[in-house]
Amino acid sequence: MQERGEKGMRRVVVTGMGVVSAIGASVPAFQAALAEARGGIGPIETIGTERLTIRTAAEVKGFVPEERFTSTELTVLDRFSQFAVLAGREAWAMSGLTLTPQTAVRAACIIGSGAGGQLTIEEGFRRLYEEGKHRVPPFTVPRYMSSAAVSQVSMDLGLQGPSFGVSSACATATHAIGLGFHMVRGGLADIAVVGGAEAPISMGCVKSWEALRVVAKDTCRPFCKDRSGMVLGEGAGVFVLETLEAAQARGATILAEVVGFGMSADAGDLLSPSMEGAGRAMQAALDDAGLAPEAVGYINAHGTGTAANDGVETKAIHHVFGEHAKALMVSSTKSFHGHALGASGAIELVATVFALQTGVIPPTLNYTTPDPECDLDYVPNTPRQAVVDVALSNSFAFGGLNAVLALRRF
């Protein structure tokens, strides 16, 4: 019999995770950077910056695609799909799973992206409009489509179950992980490989973000009074989810248990976040998990470093957690790896699992001056050692699309 939770549904655990980010292109490197408070925000190097006002980002440094993929593979892999495949391989290897014809068709794959293949699109436009050429490379469409990453990961790992991409701006990866959790919990799949990938550091994309006037020129200072905006990042995070019973039966190392997932829509403004919408998503995650607010010890915040987001998220946490909000540890790891848009929720969940596993709470870097409107414990600048049993990971996107995951230490 499958071991089931209080609601009679199958329990779901994380047995593998992989990451590519500005602070490390593997889980050990990523975790070491968190523990040592080493951020990855710096001058943009992958594109020319002469025409840019914003010249700072969180890039994956030293990444040479030709060292990781064959020339044939690279003809169909945009940078965001490259990141997804590498993170998927790491997660799968960590899980120790092997597929049979019977299990492959029960293995789902949900990998999201908010922006898709921006570098491929931009290169095609450059050839057409700058060089005056009459055609683009033949694999342009399968490289840039936002579902390219999930297709590539499913093919690379041989996953034949339900597979699709999702796109909900900055909540994309959290939606993908939550949907995979629900599929495994509800019996629609036995394994789910889930996450998000993004590579938005292109001239057109950076100029588009400049136009919104929400990007900092120097660095990301979440929840500080002198915060001046977000910093673009890139990378991918991928997780392997499976049932607790299956993981225990094969002696797998269990990294954490996923216990709840909440979603909501602000149904309000396209760009301005809503305290009520964010609060509903957090409350929905707690309700889905059957948890009281007092059970939560740490929140990996959305924490973009923008004036509007950080204050609204703080108010939403107060609204949901009441007096317990003062006892919570809240940090934004975007101060390390930037805002990787559709990949952010997955990269941040790697940090959340790390906190549950090791008791090392990632800090909020670059924290300087407290803001009276942001009055929680943001674990400023220095990692903290604390045993946490339950953590939330928040993602609140443009368009009011909110998603929150609840995880328990196993």
Q: At what angle do helices 79-95 and 148-157 cross, to 10 degrees?
A: 40
Active site residue 170: yes
Active site residue 134: no
Q: Indicate which residue of 170, 205, 220, 374 is catalytic.
A: 170
Q: Indicate which residue of 175, 205, 302, 374 is catalytic.
A: 302
Q: How many CB atoms lie within 10 A of CB 310?
A: 25
Question: What are the structure tokens assigned to 149, written together?
Answer: 């990453």
Is 245 within 8 Å of 189 (Cβ atoms)?
no
Task: Tell me the C-alpha distance between 305 and 205, whole Å.
Answer: 19
Q: Are strands 191-198 and 107-112 parallel, antiparallel or unpaired?
A: parallel
Q: Is 233 exposed, middle or buried (0-12, 13-18, 19+ CB in 10 A)?
A: buried
Task: Tell me the C-alpha distance between 40 and 62, whole Å.
Answer: 12
Phi then psi for 81, rounded to 5 degrees? -70, -35
DSSP 119-140: HHHHHHHIIIIIS--S---TTH
Please name which of 399, 402, 403 lies closest in space to residue 268, comparing C-alpha atoms: 399
Active site residue 224: no
Is 20 within 8 Å of 27 (Cβ atoms)?
no
DSSP three-state, residue 20: strand
First-last CA distance in the chain: 20
Q: Are strands 360-361 and 401-408 parallel, antiparallel or unpaired?
A: unpaired
Q: Would you mind telling me the total number of residues written for the chain in this entry?
A: 410
Is 318 within 8 Å of 357 (Cβ atoms)?
no
Q: Indicate which residue of 109, 318, 339, 374 is catalytic.
A: 339
Which residues are designated catalytic? 170, 302, 339
